[in-house]
Structure 1
Amino acid sequence: MRNKIIKISFLLITLMLFSCKKTEKTSVIRKDIEDAVFASGYIEREDEYMISANISGTILKIPIKEGELVTENNLIATIENSVQTEQLKDAEAVLSQSKKNAMASSPQLLQIQSQINQALHQVEQDKTNFLRYKDLRTKNSVSQLDLEKVQLQYQASQNNLIALQKNYQDAKNALELSEKRSGIQVVQQQDILKDYTIKAIENGEVLNVLKKKGELVKQGENIAKIGSGDFKIKLYVSEDDIAKIKLGQKTAIHLNTYPDENFMATVTKIFPAFDETEQSYIVEAKFDKVPEVIFSGTQLQANIETSKRKNALVIPTSYISKGKFVTLENGEQKAVVIGSKDNEWTEIRSGISENTVLIKPKN
């Protein structure tokens, strides 16, 4: 029994000595540190816009491909438009007939003009007759009643002429109005037909083609994405960090397409409003030197440098326990005031001094 107790005691002492040998220590040191705000984001062109359909239908033609350059009014897509084309043809036919009807040689106007010509001839006859009867009356060769009858006939033929002339003008005005309305209808049909032919708004590069030939597209649905100008960096910053961001701050960019490299950029714009869709504030930056190969839409991570401090007191972050305590060499726990921290280092603002020896806390 005594030997067993001695063995157990020996084992415990051995374990305690082994544990003491495993205790990790460190000293408070001075180090240049940088504070940075993390942000995620992506690359986009300076000017990007979506080409969308103004009308629903089936895509007959889509001659563009990703990476191609397009200029203003280049064809992007054509939507099936046979019904609309027929409606335009009908409107053009109506306009053509309306123009013919409004010409002086149209049957309707020729008929009225013929009546006017007859009325003019009748007026001349009645005028001659009236003048003759008037002369005869001065000679008492005809009665006053006969003269008045001839005069009334002359006035009636004049009134008939005036009525026919007004009828002609009214008919001409109506036909010209019909021609004008038909012309407006043609223009409207042409404008509608333009919606079936989708063109580029301005010069740029085709970034994405979102539809294919034969595919159904709805009104307002995107067909292609066009971009131009320099590449810029779009960053999403949390509410906790946005107040730390200033224009001109340097930013280390890690692109998913360059897993082993970082690229420097500079903050150029801070959007003033919170983005509800992204649940973040949006910040823009520009590359100091653009990567040799770069693509719009590339995902990235960024560290925005917010401040630098030289000779700051730091300790390994793993030596902090309960958020604000360190363990001194004598085993005493002491509260410290910490500054910036990351997974590797924590800044010590006060509580301990340089070269203080600390023991790594046990988990």
Structure 2
Amino acid sequence: MKTLQFILILLLTGGMWACGTKAEQSRDKKPAEQTDDTSIPVKLTKVESVVRSEPVVASGLVSSSEEAKLSFKIGGIIQKMYVDEGQAVRKGQLLATLNLTEINAQVSQAQLSNEKAERDLNRVKALYADTAATLEQLQNATTGHDVAKQNLTIAQFNQNYAQIRSTVDGTVTRKLLNEGEFASAGTTAFMISSTRKNDWVVRVGVADKDWARLKVGNRATITLDAYPDKTFMGTVSEMAQAADPQNKLYEVEIRINPGGVKLAPGLFAKVSLQPAQSRSYALVPIEAIVEGNGKDGFVFVLADDQKRVRKIPVQIGFIDNDKVLLTSGLSGVSNVVTAGSAYLTETSTVILK
């Protein structure tokens, strides 16, 4: 009986020892299994280097290369407006006139002053010949006559420019004043655009760094909202040498080839300019970019321990289909994380596929 009890005790002790050993082994394996479960599988892609000419993208409006803003040279009340918006006009055609009552009176006044100065000069000349007038009096009379003559010229000039005539063959695109209104000197009354078939341009504003890469003759592709299925070709015809004081952008004029399509001033255009100057870019798949915002973005790269990742900022040049061309940020980096990057943080552990 005692022998049977002894055997049972040995069996129970062995079973408890075995269970304890399995429990310890289970505890030892649990952290390893947990690490495998939290590691994020990722894939690395090699960073390529390419040389491209980054396009300059901008938007603007179609207009005529010969565009005139016409105004009165002097101020006054508008007597008559002879044309309306949208009306075709010829070069030299009369468009508007001021009320000439005050202007004609100024011309008459200047004429009378000139006639008086001429009589005074003749009288002083006669007296001077008889030694009854001094040289100073003669000089003063001569100066008075010259001043009166110049005042008459000014009055007559203003009288001639108390009207507006078209400077080009074209169309009235805007009429900004009406009959009976007071027009200040230099205030635009009409905007005229030339209507020659191949005389269309698009004017856009570009930043200084883009202006520096462009030159006259660079090619451009243009799309118009009015013709969404058609692409127009153009070339840079003029470049401003100073920035606009309001928006700080440099105006670039692109001459557009209409290709037989009807164009009109004011059509909205999107322009892609192709500069001749090229530069080197780092090329990565688009899925490598995380938290992209305009030209700024981030990519993940493998840390030194090969188990974690680092998040580094990059500058985006432009997107080419499923690739992104980066201008900076990947110096010394040979591989970036692509597959799995959307699930990563800077504390993530990773495992390579």
User: Which bracket does the TM-score occupy, shorter chain normalised?
Assistant: 0.5 to 0.7
Give matches, 1:343-354, under 5 Å.
345-347=323-325, 351-352=333-334
Tell me the CA shift for residue 48 of structure 1.
1.7
* 1:361 counterpart SS class: helix
| 1:360 matched residue in structure 2 | 341
String of CA shifts for 1:320-355, please: whole Å, max 9, x gaps: 469453356x8643678978544663237773469x
String of CA shifts for 1:244-303, please: whole Å, max 9, x gaps: 223433323233434555433222333333332330122221224457232223343322
Question: Could you say which structure has the larger radius of gyration?
Answer: 1
| 1:269 matched residue in structure 2 | 238
* 2:235 counterpart SS class: strand
Does residue 91 of structure 2 align to residue 75 of structure 1?
Answer: no
| 1:193 matched residue in structure 2 | 159
Cα separation, partners in 2 of 1:272 and 1:184, compared to 1, 3 Å: closer
Tell me the CA shift for residue 40 of structure 1.
2.9
Give matches, 1:1-363, under 5 Å.
35-85=54-104, 190-228=156-194, 230-259=199-228, 261-290=230-259, 292-306=261-275, 313-316=283-286, 319-320=289-290, 323=297, 325-326=299-300, 332-333=308-309, 341-342=317-318, 345-347=323-325, 351-352=333-334, 358-362=339-343
Contact 1:331 1:359 in 2 (8 A): no
Amino acid at match of 2:339: L
Tell me the CA shift for residue 77 of structure 1.
0.4
| 1:162 matched residue in structure 2 | none
Unaligned runs of 5+ in 1: 1-12, 102-165, 167-176
Find the aligned partners of 1:347 and 1:25 in 2 and give their Cα distance: 20
Tell me the CA shift for residue 235 of structure 1.
1.8
Find the aligned partners of 2:334 and 2:150 in 1 and give their Cα distance: 86
Amino acid at match of 1:200: S
Amino acid at match of 2:100: N
Stretch of structure 1 that moved more, 189-198 or 50-59: 189-198
Find the aligned partners of 2:342 and 2:153 in 1 and give their Cα distance: 83
* 2:201 counterpart SS class: strand
Find the aligned partners of 1:197 and 1:357 in 2 and give their Cα distance: 70
Tell me the CA shift for residue 52 of structure 1.
0.8
Cα separation, partners in 2 of 1:298 and 1:91, compared to 1, 3 Å: same
Which one has a larger percent strand, Structure 1 or Structure 2?
2
Cα separation, partners in 2 of 1:278 and 1:55, compared to 1, 3 Å: same
Contact 2:88 2:170 in 1 (8 A): yes
Amino acid at match of 1:360: S
Contact 2:47 2:334 in 1 (8 A): no
Q: What RMSD over aligned residues (CA atoms) do the two structures have, in Å?
A: 5.0
Find the aligned partners of 1:49 and 1:290 in 2 and give their Cα distance: 25
Amino acid at match of 1:351: V
Contact 1:37 1:303 in 2 (8 A): yes
Question: How many percent identity over aligned positions?
Answer: 21
* 1:225 counterpart SS class: strand
Amino acid at match of 2:309: Q
Find the aligned partners of 2:209 and 2:262 in 1 and give their Cα distance: 34
> Which structure has more RCO (C-alpha within 8 Å, separation ≥ 6)?
1
Tell me the CA shift for residue 223 of structure 1.
0.8
Cα separation, partners in 2 of 1:227 and 1:87, compared to 1, 3 Å: same
Unaligned runs of 5+ in 2: 1-32, 120-129, 131-141, 346-353
| 1:155 matched residue in structure 2 | none
Contact 1:335 1:351 in 2 (8 A): no
Tell me the CA shift for residue 221 of structure 1.
0.9
Contact 1:50 1:224 in 2 (8 A): yes
Cα separation, partners in 2 of 1:286 and 1:332, compared to 1, 3 Å: farther
Give the TM-score taking structure 1 as reference length: 0.56
Cα separation, partners in 2 of 1:320 and 1:210, compared to 1, 3 Å: same
User: How many residues get paired?
Assistant: 270
Amino acid at match of 1:345: K
| 1:146 matched residue in structure 2 | none
Which one has a larger percent helix, Structure 1 or Structure 2?
1
Amino acid at match of 2:160: K
Amino acid at match of 1:274: A
Stretch of structure 1 that moved more, 300-309 or 75-84: 300-309
Contact 2:60 2:268 in 1 (8 A): yes
